[in-house]
């Protein structure tokens, strides 16, 4: 039998507190799939061609998708199912109470976002690297959470290091440059219930990611991620067994603007609930983030000032009201 989060089940109209101002609403005009965002095959033997595609995608869109990445499909689908069970089988009160004792963060839809308007989503966040240290503070319900999510996190870390190493080679930065810059990983899983009127609501406001890269599993073959392309919102297609990768602010800085961090948001769906899993690959709080010196010369001066990562996060409040908690956990 299909399970539902009782808080959201059978909602027939959008409550006023979820209706965004007219200028921020997605509206009811159809948003097309962006066919320009590359789907890059990491399994190809022509490594130089793969690197070229990664850099071009990072320069033009700040987004790309990867296939033939080496992660078995059931690793991702089992993780997605585990999060669906987590969101559907515990009340918000249970999640908040347990989270406050265990060290992970649950954000229900009741949290005020902007001028009294709430997001149409539930969310869980927690650190996930180093894995053996972090796992002990993860949820223990469902019973398989730590095993299943732990396996997923380990696979995504390997994928993230592969992608970052290819970007290193493409930019001409020394091998392993990003190893120390990617020592923090933060998992953020979202549940977007079906919404009676998606034109009024948002799952996530438009934003830039404060990461090096973010790796997203959309799952369910239901698209809801939208990216700003040439000033227009476009949907990122939910490609089966693919991972969406987007360039974060820190990689834009390190590449001295060669790779772009672009605005994106999440919208809701009138027919189906959607769950997504994002892993943010971040520098450590005390890392100095600056343009890589090998990229700089008289004709290519630094476009960004050096900054401690924790100062960047704190000044931008990148993780909202939970910024201080996440920084301390890191």
Sign, Cα dihedral of 309, 134, 159, 277: negative
Token code pair at residue 168: 């290193």
The percent of residues in the chain predicted with pLDDT above 70, rounded, is 88
Q: Is the pLDDT of residue 109 over 80?
A: no
Say what the pLDDT of residue 254 is. Answer: 96
Q: Which residue has the tokens 């590449």?
A: 255
Nearest to 295 by CA among 256, 327, 264: 256
d(CA 42, CA 45): 8
Q: Following DSSP, what letter does each residue of 46-111 receive, concatenated? A: -HHHHHHHHHHHHHHTSEEEEES-S--HHHHHHHHHHHHHHHHHS-HHHHHHHHHHHS-EEE-TTS
Task: Say which DSSP state 201 is in.
Answer: -
Q: Is the pLDDT of residue 2 over 70?
A: no
Nearest to 24 by CA among 187, 202, 209, 254: 202
67-83 mean pLDDT? 96
Q: In this predicted model, what pLDDT tens digit does every residue of 27-73 receive, in sequence order?
A: 988 899 998 999 999 998 789 999 999 999 999 999 999 999 999 99
Q: Following DSSP, what letter does each residue of 264-288 receive, concatenated? A: EEE---SS--EEEEEEEEE--TTPE
Q: Is the pLDDT of residue 171 over 80?
A: yes
The whole-chain average pLDDT of the chain stands at 88
For the chain, helix, strand, coil in percent to 5 are 35, 20, 45
The answer to whether 4 and 29 are in contact (CB under 8 A) is no
Say what the pLDDT of residue 164 is. Answer: 96
d(CA 326, CA 313): 10
Strand pairing class (225-229; 232-235):
antiparallel
Enumerate residues 6+ apart whose C-beta is below 8 A from 70: 42, 43, 155, 158, 159
pTM, 2 dp: 0.90
Sign, Cα dihedral of 330, 285, 315, 224: negative
E strand or H helix that includes residue 234? strand 232-235
Q: In this predicted model, what pLDDT tens digit does every residue of 117-134 receive, in sequence order?
A: 999 999 999 999 888 888
Where residue 191 falls among pLDDT bands split at 50, 70, 90?
very high
d(CA 216, CA 206): 16
Please state whether the peptide bond connecting residue 259 to the residue before it is cis, i.e. omega within 30 degrees of 0: no
CA distances from 191 to 194, 220, 268 (A): 10, 12, 10
Strand pairing class (288-289; 117-118):
unpaired
Task: Say which DSSP state 166 is in.
Answer: H
Say what the pLDDT of residue 115 is. Answer: 78
Beta bridge partners of 229: 232
Say what the pLDDT of residue 10 is. Answer: 63
Q: Is the pLDDT of residue 261 over 80?
A: yes
Q: Is the pLDDT of residue 294 over 90?
A: yes
Chain-centre distance of CA 33, in angstroms? 19
């Amino acid at each position: 039998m299909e399970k539902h989060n009782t808080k959201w089940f059978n909602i027939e109209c959008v409550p006023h507190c979820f209706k965004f101002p007219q200028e921020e609403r997605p509206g009811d005009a159809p948003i097309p799939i962006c066919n320009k965002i590359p789907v890059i095959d990491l399994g190809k033997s022509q490594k130089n061609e793969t690197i070229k595609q990664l850099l071009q995608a990072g320069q033009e869109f700040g987004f790309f998708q990867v296939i033939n990445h080496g992660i078995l499909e059931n690793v991702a689908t089992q993780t997605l199912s585990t999060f669906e069970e987590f969101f559907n089988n515990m009340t918000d009160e249970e999640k908040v109470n347990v989270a406050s004792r265990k060290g992970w963060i649950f954000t229900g839809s009741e949290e005020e976002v902007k001028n009294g308007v709430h997001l149409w989503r539930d969310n869980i966040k927690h650190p996930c690297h180093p894995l053996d240290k972090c796992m002990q503070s993860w949820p223990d319900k469902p019973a398989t959470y730590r095993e299943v999510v732990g396996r997923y996190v380990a696979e995504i870390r390997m994928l993230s290091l592969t992608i970052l190493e290819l970007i290193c080679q493409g930019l001409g930065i020394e091998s392993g440059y990003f190893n120390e810059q990617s020592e923090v990983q933060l998992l953020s899983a979202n549940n977007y219930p079906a919404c009676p009127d998606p034109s009024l609501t948002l799952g996530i406001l438009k934003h830039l990611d404060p990461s090096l890269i973010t790796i997203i599993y959309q799952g369910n073959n239901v698209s809801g991620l939208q990216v700003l392309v040439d000033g227009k919102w476009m949907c990122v297609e939910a490609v089966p067994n693919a991972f969406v990768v987007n360039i974060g602010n820190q990689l834009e800085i390190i590449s001295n603007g060669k790779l772009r961090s672009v605005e994106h948001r999440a919208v809701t769906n009138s027919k189906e609930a959607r769950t997504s899993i994002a892993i943010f690959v971040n520098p450590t709080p005390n890392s100095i983030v600056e343009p890589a010196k090998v990229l700089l010369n008289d004709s290519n001066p630094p476009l960004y000032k050096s900054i401690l990562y924790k100062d960047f996060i704190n000044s931008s409040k990148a993780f909202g009201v939970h910024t201080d908690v996440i920084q301390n956990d890191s």
